Amino acid sequence: MTISLAAAAVDDRQISAVRAFNRHYTRIIGVLGEGLVSTEYSLTEARILFELANFGAAEVVSLRRTLDLDAGYLSRILTRFEDKGLVARKRSDTDGRRQVVELTEAGRTLFGELDGLSQRDIESLLEPHSPATRSRLLEAMATIERILDTPADPPAVTLREPRPGDHGWIIQRNAVLYHREFGWNGEYEQLVARIVADFLNSHDPQRERTWIAEYDGISVGSVMCVAENDTTARLRLLLVEPSARGLGVGSALVDECLRFAKAAGYTEMVLWTNDVLASARHIYQRAGFTLAESNPHHSFGADLVGQTWRRAL
């Protein structure tokens, strides 16, 4: 099942975090220096040399569009390069109104020197780190690139059946997130593990099911529907990753759980939660659940108020 979701608003905390990351990594890779790898050439100038060295002669207009440069700024750089004998400009054979620029032999030699310096500079950056850490870095860089290179059709959230390892992920993420956000101890992880183990040991696929919410190939949420009795289904272990909150993932999971339960022949759905889980409670209310019972209890290392919610199907 694929769900189209509205994008959530960007908050000031997220903006500040990205700006802090930008300041940090530009310092680390030396972008703020006056010249690339301690040379007189700027990062922009080196990028122009890279384009011409790797893709051959180019119309100046196309080069400007490719690099998103101001026309006057690019013209001044090319004039400087021409004065140094690094590039040559001529009129296009197909359109005399357009200029074509290409590297000279001196320009190719310079690019080779800059490329070698950059290669050694990055090697020095990576060398102190273990192979495993380098792999993590490259994976993180690929993730950033994939996310920021916005596709024409942004990925949608999909609800799917669990794959091998997904039920273990449900236990792990519940334990981590509820400890991080509410300080719950290992008792909660034990509870989740028992619920998942019972489901895997004896569930009826026609009347009980687990869903994983996935966004751009990453698991971002889950929910379970299990039998309470012949007429009542129980919604269990609704989870939405912090990165996906505000996108409607929780509501989509609950709605799918309700749809399945009704199709399976149940006439009512029940769930148990705690009053501190305000976001989940709002999802349940929007889905038509009503509060049936509240009881204080001490569980998971905290004083809580347990709540039972019900909804007719």
Instruction: Read off the pLDDT of residues 56-90 as tens digits, 9 standing for 90 and up.
Output: 988 999 999 999 899 999 999 999 999 999 999 99
Question: Which class in CATH covers the domain with range 33-148?
Answer: mainly alpha
Instruction: Please state which CATH number belongs to domain 157-312.
Output: 3.40.630.30
Q: What does the radius of gyration of the chain's CA atoms come to, in whole angstroms?
A: 29
pLDDT at position 76 is 93
In the chain the beta strands, taken as DSSP E runs, fall at 2-3, 58-59, 87-91, 99-103, 157-160, 209-215, 218-227, 232-240, 268-274, 290-299, 302-312
Predicted confidence at residue 262, as pLDDT, reads 96
Tell me what pLDDT residue 118 has: 86
Strand positions, DSSP E, 22-141: 58-59, 87-91, 99-103
Map residue 91 onto helix, strand or coil. Answer: strand
Residues of the chain with pLDDT under 70: 1-9, 29-37, 150-155
Query: What one-letter code names the amino acid at 187?
Result: E
Tokens found for residue 212: 């994983």
Beta bridge pairs of residue 212: 160, 222
pLDDT of res. 17: 86
Cα 255 to Cα 155, 227, 283, 284, 289, distances in angstroms: 20, 17, 10, 10, 11
Tell which residue, 312, 309, 245, 254, has the closest CA to residue 287: 254
For residue 158 the two structure tokens come to: 């999909």
- What integer pLDDT is reported at residue 235 of this predicted model? 98
pTM for the whole structure: 0.66
Could you tell me which residues come within 8 angstroms of residue 254 by beta carbon, excluding any fewer than 6 positions away?
223, 235, 238, 283, 284, 287
CA distances from 279 to 190, 246, 250, 273, 297 (A): 23, 10, 9, 11, 20
Supply the pLDDT for residue 245.
83
**Is residue 257 a contact partner of residue 212, using CB atoms and an 8 Å limit?**
no
**DSSP string across 126-146:** HTTS-HHHHHHHHHHHHHHHH
What residues does each domain of the chain span?
33-148, 157-312
Strands (E), 155-288: 157-160, 209-215, 218-227, 232-240, 268-274
pLDDT number for residue 243: 84
CA-nearest of 153, 146, 150, 157 to 5 is: 157
Residue with the two structure tokens 């122009």: 48
Could you give the CA distance from residue 28 to residue 107 in angstroms, rounded to a whole number? 28
Quick check: 87 and 100 in contact, CB under 8 A?
A: no
For residue 52, give every residue at least 6 positions away whose Cβ sits within 8 Å of its Cβ, in sequence order, or none: 58, 63, 87, 101, 102, 103, 107, 111
Identify residue 151 by its one-letter amino acid code: P
Helix (H) or strand (E) holding 178: helix 166-182
CA dist., res. 50 & res. 41, Å (int): 12
Q: Whose CA is closest to 207, among 225, 191, 188, 219? A: 225
Q: How far is CA 34 from the centre of its chain?
A: 33
Q: Residues 166-221: pLDDT tens digits?
A: 999 999 999 999 999 999 999 999 999 999 999 999 999 999 999 999 987 889 99
Residue 25 pLDDT: 78
